[in-house]
Amino acid sequence: MVSIIIPVFNSAGFLSRCLDSVLNQTFKNIEVVIIDDGSVDESGKICKGYAEKDARCKVYHQENQGASISRKNGIARATGEWLTFVDSDDIVEDDYIERLFNAIQEKGVRIAACDQVMHVEGTTVSIDKAASVILLDEANLHQRFFHYQFWGFWGKIYHRSVFEDVHFPTYTINEDYVVMAQLFSKYQQMAYVPIGLYHYMVHAVSLSHQPLSLRMFDEYYNKRWVVDFYRAHRPQYMKNAEAQLAETCIKLTKPTESTEFRTEQNVVRQFLRSHILRFLFNPYLAASLKFMALKRCL
């Protein structure tokens, strides 16, 4: 069985479309584990309706804890040997699970990923599905990872054993990055289906497209955690992680007229100043970003 885990928070406008896409899979041995993360809109009602119509849907309600903890709780509730994650405002192709599961079997690995298709709400995209499965080795996998590929929980299938002893952060921005860093450090091969089977919907309320807010500083703490993790477990990739952290520090210390974020920006700026030499000599940080890091220290 494959368990499809879907964290839901105030997604009433998109949820039915998402659930329809996962219930229409060509791979039939599935369960849909829906974690209602304290929604205050009609999401809970929609989830209940689907569970009443389709026995494969199981709905669990909790107080709002964020997507990371919702996924962790979803894993605990899931009964499938294999797990996949879909965000409640996204959709998947009808052969999404079949393709990923076949890739797992073909390459004999515990994780498989596909491409994502990013498109604006209301548009349609044509998918070319003629492609062969690729086995990514450690070097290729990490090279792609540190170029912002495969960061999301979504668009992958996992054997449930890979999540044993994995830290799920409570900070809510870039939480996927924290978990995937751990998984790719333990499992250094992944099957890759270079087909856009997962549709990442871009719309006005996407969290990743919100302006600066206090929550955005969660990204800083998650990326610091990843640097510490690589330092302890995979030091050969620590400088890659430090370059990612430097980019976040630069972004979060961008000058602003608002005083609302002054305390948080001062914390990040002080960290940037105390580590500026490491960042300046980091071979994975672009020269233009090194210059910006120096400016932010002033």
pLDDT for the residue numbered 130: 80
pLDDT the model gives residue 207: 47
pLDDT of residue 210: 58
Please list, in sequence order, all residues whose beta carbon lies within 8 angstroms of the beta carbon of residue 85, skipping any fewer than 6 positions away: 4, 5, 6, 7, 71, 74, 153, 154, 156
Q: With a threshold of 0.85, does the pTM exceed it?
A: yes
Please state, in angstroms and rounded to a whole number, the distance separating the CA atoms of residues 70 and 61.
10
* Segments of the chain scoring below 70 in pLDDT: 121-126, 203-211
The greatest distance separating any two alpha carbons of the chain, rounded to the nearest whole angstrom, comes to 60
The span from the CA of 298 to the CA of 292, in Å, is 10
Q: Model confidence over 63-110: pLDDT tens digits?
A: 999 999 999 999 999 999 999 999 999 999 999 999 999 999 999 999
pLDDT at 208: 47
Give dist(CA 224, CA 227) in Å, integer. 5
Q: List, in sequence order, every residue forming a beta bridge with 91; answer none if it has no partner.
A: 199
